[in-house]
Amino acid sequence: MSRIIAITNQKGGVGKTTTCVNLAASLSATRRSVLLVDLDPQGNATMGSGVDKRQLELSGYNLLLDDTPIEQIIVDAEVAGYHLLPANSDLTAAEVQLIQVEDREARLHRRLASVAANYDYVLIDCPPSLNMLTLNALTAADAVFIPIQCEYYALEGLSALLETVEQIRDAVNPGLEIEGLLRTMFDARNNLANQVSEQLLEHFGDKVYRTIIPRNIRLAEAPSHGTPVLKYDQASRGAIAYLALAGELVRREQERQAGPQHDTEAEDEDEAPPPDTAAVNDAEPNLSENAD
């Protein structure tokens, strides 16, 4: 059964697109079929997947505003290892034109319905704002995944986003869940980052993924080469972290499908599930912007 996850944060610069691209590649490396939907007019997820947004004949604009079959819009991002529904600046015009369209917030939901079953995961890269494109993503999604940088202003943005999710749930998508919070660009030497991390764990508990994405120069370099970090340097801390994230996401999904019986058995055994972040934890004390 396919799971559609909108990866979003109303605050920019928190590693949202980086997470979309590298999580998609890591899930693909675990033999999961993945469709990445780029819904950001900047088209960074498209470029980061090895597809030139300047040469697109069809894009998310056609998906939302005309009857072009979605199968014709989806491309095979061969370098990255997954399928991509690409985007470019045309999406800016789509956002304006959608205002005039009936049932405008459900356009993406209806178009994805015909192909979602072909994939294990559909990841949606949302723009860093609450607009008609983000509303379409949240209406189409089963869950919201929130990358968050551990700094003071990020907490304020998180509060606003959670309020938005609640409003979407009440208005158009009652099944929308919070998949989890992901700590990104983390530097364990930064006291504020550690304090914010502790606050997140205190307030959100198990919703905070145990995997932590470190600051990593290879992770920053990979987009300029049009490839996920896993293809650029699979031994880097960034690649290891996103593989751990994919493992944790899959494990949580398996536990969710197993249901209450699985939880009861786990309690009887009195044994915690194995951590997904061992490789990352080894590196954490030395995390650095200049680390390989």
In a domain, residue 37? The reply is: yes
State the pLDDT confidence band at 284, using cuts at 50, 70 and 90: very low
Q: Using alpha carbons only, what angle is made at residue 165 by residues 159 and 167, rounded to the nearest 5 degrees? A: 105
* DSSP class of 286: G
In a domain, residue 144? The reply is: yes
pLDDT at 262: 52
Cα torsion through 106, 111, 113, 118, rounded to 10: -150
SS3 139: helix
Q: What CATH number should be reported for the domain holding residue 28?
A: 3.40.50.300
| Residue 124: pLDDT over 90 | yes
Contact present, 63 and 94 (Cβ < 8 Å):
no
Q: Which residues pair with 180 in a beta bridge?
A: 145
In a domain, residue 292? The reply is: no
- CA–CA distance, 18 with 14 (Å, rounded to integer): 9
Beta 143-149 vs 121-125: how paired, if at all? unpaired
In a domain, residue 51? The reply is: yes
pLDDT at 267: 46
Q: What is the domain extent for residue 192?
A: 3-286
Which amino acid does the sequence have at 240? I
Reported as a single tens digit per residue, the pLDDT across 155-172 is 777 888 899 899 999 999
Determine what percent of the chain is predicted with pLDDT higher than 90. Answer: 70
Task: State the average pLDDT for the chain.
Answer: 88
For the entire predicted model, the pTM comes to 0.87
Token readout for 78 is 């061969």
In a domain, residue 141? The reply is: yes
The lowest-confidence range among 29-33, 204-208, 252-256, 286-290 is 286-290
pLDDT at 276: 41
pLDDT at 282: 40
In a domain, residue 277? The reply is: yes
Task: Tally the domains of the chain.
Answer: 1
- CA–CA distance, 22 with 35 (Å, rounded to integer): 13
Spatial CB neighbours of 158, under 8 Å, sequence gap ≥ 6: 9, 146, 148, 181
pLDDT at 234: 95
State the pLDDT confidence band at 273, using cuts at 50, 70 and 90: very low
Which amino acid does the sequence have at 155? L
State the pLDDT confidence band at 260, using cuts at 50, 70 and 90: low
pLDDT at 129: 85
pLDDT at 13: 85
Spatial CB neighbours of 222, under 8 Å, sequence gap ≥ 6: 22, 48, 228, 229, 231, 232, 233, 238
In a domain, residue 129? The reply is: yes
- CA–CA distance, 80 with 86 (Å, rounded to integer): 13
In a domain, residue 197? The reply is: yes
Alpha helices in the chain (DSSP H): 16-29, 44-48, 60-65, 70-73, 90-98, 107-112, 132-140, 152-171, 191-204, 217-221, 229-232, 237-258, 260-269, 278-283
101 exposed, middle or buried (CB, 10 Å; 0-12, 13-18, 19+)?
middle
Q: Which among 16, 20, 22, 7 has a CA at the least distance from the CA of 227? A: 22
The lowest-confidence range among 60-64, 87-91, 257-261, 277-281 is 277-281
pLDDT at 277: 40
